[in-house]
Amino acid sequence: MLQKGDKAPDFKLFATPDRQFSLSELKGKNVILAFYPADWSPVCSDQMVLYNEMLKYFDKYNATILGISVDSKWCHLAFSDSRKLHFPLLADFEPKGEVSKLYGVYDEQQGESNRALFVIDKEGYVAWSYLSQVSVNPGADGILDALESITPKN
**Residues carrying an active site annotation:** 44
Between helices 73-83 and 42-53, what is the axis angle to 10°?
60
**Distance between CA 51 and CA 87 in Å, rounded?**
9
Q: Which helix (H) or strand (E) holds 35?
A: strand 30-35
Distance of CA 140 to the CA centre of its chain: 12
Q: Are 130 and 142 in contact (CB under 8 A)?
A: yes
| DSSP-based three-state secondary structure for 103 | coil
